[in-house]
Structure 1
Amino acid sequence: MSFIVRIVPSPDWFVGIDSLNLCKGDHWIENISLDLYPYDAGTDSGFTFSSPNFETIPQDKITQ
């Protein structure tokens, strides 16, 4: 995982990307633009994006 970011206020939504080289030579890339899509980690069964925690047992699969 190159990076992952939680989408607030959802308890289990996130965006992230894998296998992205964030360095060029020995320097960090200062600016990059990407289209990212939200994922649901499947750990909370709240009915809306900002609903209170309602734990999912057993945990669901991660979905986009």
Structure 2
Amino acid sequence: MGKLKTRKSLLKRYKITGQNKILRRKAGKGHLLAKKSSNRKRFLSKSVLVKKQNSTCILFYTNI
């Protein structure tokens, strides 16, 4: 089996902290913002930690 290529799209979508935890953005903040309340938009703009089950897969494909 050859070398695995790193997935560059993963590195653009996620931020890896110093303790190998992964931050992601919430969905729903891209468009159609006029009908959403300011409280909801503020809640959607915050980063969230990725769950442990998914983070192992992301770390594997980023070759870290």
Comparing both structures, which one devotes a greater share of its residues to helix? 2
Assess same fold via TM > 0.5: no
Comparing both structures, which one devotes a greater share of its residues to strand? 1
Q: Which has the higher contact order (CA 8 A, sep 6+)?
A: 2
| TM-score, length-scaled by structure 2 | 0.28
| TM-score, length-scaled by structure 1 | 0.28
